[in-house]
Structure 1
Amino acid sequence: MPSGYSHSYSFLSRLISGIRRISGRRGGIAVMLAGISIFVFSVVLAAAVAPNVGVAADDRRVTIVGSQGGGPGLHDDGSVYQLDGRSVAWRLADADSYFDVTKLPTGTVLAGYMNGETTPCGPYDEPCARTGFRVINPPEITADSSPTVTDEYSFPVRTRVNSEVHDVERLGPNEYVFTDMDAERIAIVDNGTITWEWYANETYDAPPDPTRTDWLHINDIDVIDSDRFLVSVRNAHQLVIIERGHGVVEVINKDESGNGKGDPSVLRQQHNPQWLGNGTVLVADSHNDRIVELHRGADDSWEVTWSIAAAEGVPFSWPRDADRLSNGNTLITDSLNKRIVEINNSGVAVWSYQTQKVPYEADRLPAGERVGGVAYTNANNIDTAASTAAGRNIPILSLLLIGIQTGIQTPFWFTEIHVATGVLALISIICGSGLILKNR
């Protein structure tokens, strides 16, 4: 081949190769930009059209809140605070997490709490976690600007994950009953001494060491009367009534399948039931993203007779508390949406508050959560559309969303759609980067 043709052929080859490389790089950049643009557009659009929450009725309702906090696993920046209307009157932020809160007739506040990275650890390796409950004097008692802890009962646990005391109730002047999900028990302590205990292995098949696994996650106890307690056994999807001297005397959402758990379509990892009386229980059906009333039928079986899955136009996301108030309304703690909302018996929001961190539980003062209340079951004025709205449960995407929400606390309008477009953006970045590297 003549040299002139050889040089021309070499030049054309390099030119074509260069064009392909440039085209490959531009294609890679285009792929990345397309995926990122779709994600950004979905986020911006959702933020623009999101309904307003936390704006209903700015009156002088007084609410006390237990905040689990934020950070990975929701184990940081916990607090107890009081809202006057939607203004924070006082706050105590001296624990990694706070949980159930109750204002006592004495004016003090009773709260379950957890602190990690503590010592001494008793039988566990250091550092460990410490959990229990505290009695808090609010500023109106101390005549000071800050609340103070005046009493505490606590004990070490192996880890701060799924080992906390989530609930405590007062029985007498220095007598309290509390849940212990580390040992999976409920216990009564009087003047610092345990006087009565019920262990879940009396009813459920236990692993060799409950402190090493999140076995049942017993997360709530309510006093029905002096000897009967309503207990939430979260991981079994069941509520049980325990009577001193007799153990479990009734199971709500019985095991019909033989797997040791109740039907998850009835209750799924619930929190904070309230005994309304007349065979009716109000409960936050957390992982079904709804609030339900369960009613005991003539054959002693329990079924869902009322439910609601949205308020203010926003579906609930991991609600963990629902209290039927003395005025007939329902106060709901919508944890992963970071809001507290009060609805009337038609499902309409009459008051709401957007929290900064993830709330665990809220009580409306002065009465707080109480035994007995008006049941919505069979009421004729319930908003059917709101009551029957389905909770979100999209395979894989819903699980990823919960992980994101408990890690970085996204806005309430961040949904499975944004998880999907975020995954698409990540894939486009990986593929686009591969094209660019291949054509360097």
Structure 2
Amino acid sequence: MSSNSSNAAAPDPSPEAAASRKGWGGALRHPAFLRYWLARILSMGALQIQAVAAGWAIYDRTGSTMNLGLIGLAQFLPSVGLVLVTGHVADRLDRRMIITTCVMVEAVAMALTGVVLASPGLPVGLVYAAVMLFGAARAFEGPASSALLPNLVPKADFPNAVAISSSAMQVAGVLGPALGGVLYAAFHNGVFGVGAGFLVLAGLVVAGISAPSRAVTRAPVSWDGILGGIRYIRHQSIVLGAISLDLFAVLLGGATALLPALARDQFSADAGLLGLTGPMLLGVMRGAPGAGAILVGLALAAWPLKRRVGPIMLSCVGVFGLATIVFGLTHSPAIAVLSLLVMGAVDMVSVFVRQTLVQLGTPDEMRGRVSAVSGLFIGASNQLGEFESGLTASWLGTELAVVVGGIGTVAVVALWCVLFPALRRADRLDWNAPA
């Protein structure tokens, strides 16, 4: 990229170059982004608290890995049924208002989960109803949140904002599970009240965001408009390849739903090596991927990727699969935690590349709909992946299910290199999407 220009003071228009010059401070200079970042930490922290506490409580009460998988399925199903609606809503209404409303509904759902689990006379099935309400709110929140981010910072700072925002999620991914494990061990179902409080505070923070005005679609609702996100992704090979890679790789290789069973059964004999047992060990294991991702996220915020982003993404997903295999084979808590750290670190690179490619290549008036479809893929890889893990574990056993999933992830990477050559050859984050 040449620096010669008729205007010597003109900045390098490359987003990567601008973010590299500004380092960590690029996006953090914008107050609206700071509020967004804080709200993400609070919201994701509450989600992780719920995941640890609900998973441990249900497995301890039923002893069934299938019931662990059903938690993920209950949270995922609403996003499937609402995918054509949530993105359209995010493109037609105030995205800040959508996020604020959704996190308040999530707070109610989390409080209901705690009430059900604290009442032995109530059937466990009511937990799944509360989780479905939680999932429905998140189905609306996700597209609005993803689509809002590009409106909070200049385009030059967007890769930096993605890295910092993703790091916020991982900070919550570390502190949330650890806090959830400690609070559950001390107060049991009272932990859900703490999570609900985090969500209420997140809603208040988002309500105070001052973002630049944008053009809001007021055209009549039509199937052509509703299906616009699906049609756009179908015609963009790089976008389709990136989000579908995440779908199938994490769908097969995700083992987080099985962590309660692994912490109590596979690692219980040697847990003393770390001085941890039961839900506290689960909290550390649940937070380990986030710790690895935070380190990588901070590095990406200061030194964002500039070239060969497609091959780097594919390689990192392959390493994710290999680390999953190691995690499934080991009986050492220390090696297990190290494997989870590696999984989180390489997954952070994949998330950074995918989010930046998708958001920079999508027009603002379509970001809600595209984010909704992308969020469905991500939800399928996470929540539906939890159901798949629980189902596979009930057939093959917990350890073998994790190993087979890791092998499947590596196979997916090899197949995607063939099916999506445009992704394999993707060089820069600021790619130009075809019309």
TM-score, length of structure 2 as denominator length: 0.25
Q: Structure 1 or 2: larger helix share?
A: 2
Q: Structure 1 or 2: larger strand share?
A: 1
Structure with greater Cα Rg? 1
